[in-house]
Amino acid sequence: MPVKKLLFATNNAHKVAEIQSAVGDQIEVVSLREAGIDIELPEPFDTLNENASEKWGTIYRLTNENCFSEDTGLEVAALGGAPGVKSARYAGDDANATRNIEKLLSALEGKENRNARFRTVISLVWEGKEYFFEGICEGNILKQASGNQGFGYDPVFQPNGADRCFALMDSKEKNIYSHRRKAADKLVSFLKEQVETLNNSQFIK
């Protein structure tokens, strides 16, 4: 059976790899760049659900193809849920992971409560209908960064039940805890229910 393709409204190779790992080999997850789409995706809203919807909506209006997007936030209890939806731009619009982590650690200095959670929302448009899939990983923020695996806040986030941060885990171990993997597994379950009735025209060629 030929591999089917599904457009992921992102150019983040790390995210594509994590979703592809969950999907397996039945469906090829294709990034915007791989699909030849060069566009900046907006994230103008204050919730993960709204931003995820806006991203796939932008691509759907261009392609009229089934596609999905995701938005992820790190929600820190002692900071009232910040950085949350602004996680990627916590230290400014041109911030990188290092600067975001530095700002986070500074904000938590002297605070005993370092509980946090990663939350991923995947939004899928399928045959003109929208579906949401959520994944949550509870954990805590370490006092200093370590490791070089993963991306984003992985060097300072340790999931509950683990003895190390995400950035010290290989992808197999991270997937045991991963918020994105949990959301992706729900997406995969939905796709498996639909795949037998799908027409190739509903996937990008």
Catalytic residue among 25, 38, 46, 71: 71
DSSP-derived secondary structure letter, 26: S
Inform me whether the pLDDT recorded for 74 exceeds 90: yes
Region 154-163 average pLDDT: 98
pLDDT in tens, 98-111: 999 999 999 999 99
pLDDT of residue 196: 61
Task: Please confirm, yes or no, whether 71 is among the known catalytic residues.
Answer: yes
Instruction: Report pTM.
Output: 0.85
pLDDT of residue 201: 44
pLDDT of residue 168: 98
pLDDT of residue 12: 87
Please state the domain extents for the chain.
4-202
Banded pLDDT at 4 (limits 50, 70, 90): confident
pLDDT of residue 203: 52
Inform me whether the pLDDT recorded for 198 exceeds 70: no
Among the listed residues 15, 12, 29, the one whose alpha carbon sits nearest the alpha carbon of residue 191: 29
Banded pLDDT at 19 (limits 50, 70, 90): confident
**Hey, how many other C-beta atoms are within 10 angstroms of the C-beta on 78?**
15
Output Rg (C-alpha) for the chain, integer angstroms: 17
199 or 40: which carries more pLDDT confidence?
Answer: 40
Banded pLDDT at 43 (limits 50, 70, 90): confident
- Length of the chain as a residue count: 205
Contacts of 83 (CB under 8 A, 6+ apart): 73, 74, 76, 90, 100, 104
Region 41-48 average pLDDT: 86
Q: Answer whether CATH 3.40.50.2000 is correct for domain 4-202.
A: no
Banded pLDDT at 1 (limits 50, 70, 90): very low
